[in-house]
Homo-oligomer: A and B are copies of this chain.
Amino acid sequence: MCRWLAYSGQPVLLEDLIYKPAHSLVDQSLRAVEAKTPTNGDGFGIGWYGEQPAPGVYREVLPAWNDANLRSLAHQIRSGLFFAHVRASTGTASTRFNCHPFAHGRWLFMHNGQVGGYAGLRRRLESLIPDAYYEHRLGTTDSEILFYLLLAAGLEADPVGALARCLLQVREVMEAAEVRQALRFTAALTDGRDVYAVRYASDLAPPTLYWRSEGRAVCIVSEPLDSGGKSWEPLPPNQVLVVGPDLQPCFAPLFPVAQAAE
């Protein structure tokens, strides 16, 4: 399990969210309180939009609390839309290419959760990735597969539909293989304009997700960055939170009909 944050709004320095809050993401890398494990020290990453249509990405295998480069970059880079992620591996190796966020074209993706029984399903899941995306696969995580399955499921044209189709597709694979562990998926996606955050699990334990809209900014997090100011709202399971350039949070059901996990 991991911790992450997504920000959309008036441009701020990355350090304003990554380092400065009392329970900042870097603090969560050492002592998360709502995660299965307190330590998220298996690498980290940031992705941000600047003047290019595609995002910049910086990923490293060191713990986030220990990286002087991250500190300097977070002090210099100002962005109106960025993701940051600290990783706690659920079994795959610590390499830069297994760190989040993952980028493809204009899109960024990051994830907290896991595909139950992944070690035995990896190859079947990989086989669902179309060739055009497969050559970009550089790591070995389930998260990176999920990103390419989302792209293949029509992420660009219909993000919420792609989320639903991708999760059902993965559940089908899990069921066919009689996997009993759950699929848990609390993730964020963006094309550089709109942010989509979703909280889902095939059992009753979806990883936490909170959001806060304050001033001209929306912040979405695995766990609250602080206890002050306007309070953090939990996102209900099976919901998609959409934040566009107008910064008005909108909500959509992940599964429009009664397909949700029961």
Chain B's nearest CB lies how many Å from the CB of A246?
Answer: 26
Copies per complex of this chain: 4
Chain B residues contacting A57 (CB-CB under 8 Å) are 69, 72
Q: Which stretch of A34-42, A168-176, A220-228 is in the interface?
A: A34-42
Q: Report whether B38 and A38 are in contact in the complex, using a CB–CB cutoff of 8 Å.
A: yes
Chain B's nearest CB lies how many Å from the CB of A126?
Answer: 8
Q: Report whether A66 and B78 are in contact in the complex, using a CB–CB cutoff of 8 Å.
A: no
Chain B residues contacting A94 (CB-CB under 8 Å) are 62, 66
A138 at the interface (CB under 8 A from B): yes
**Chain A interfacial positions (CB closer than 8 Å to B):** 30-31, 38-39, 41-42, 48, 50-52, 54, 56-63, 66, 68-69, 72-73, 75-78, 89, 93-97, 119-120, 122-123, 126-127, 131, 134-135, 137-138, 140
14 A-B pairs with CB atoms under 8 Å apart are A38-B39, A39-B41, A48-B76, A54-B75, A56-B76, A59-B68, A60-B69, A66-B94, A69-B96, A93-B97, A95-B95, A97-B140, A123-B131, A123-B135
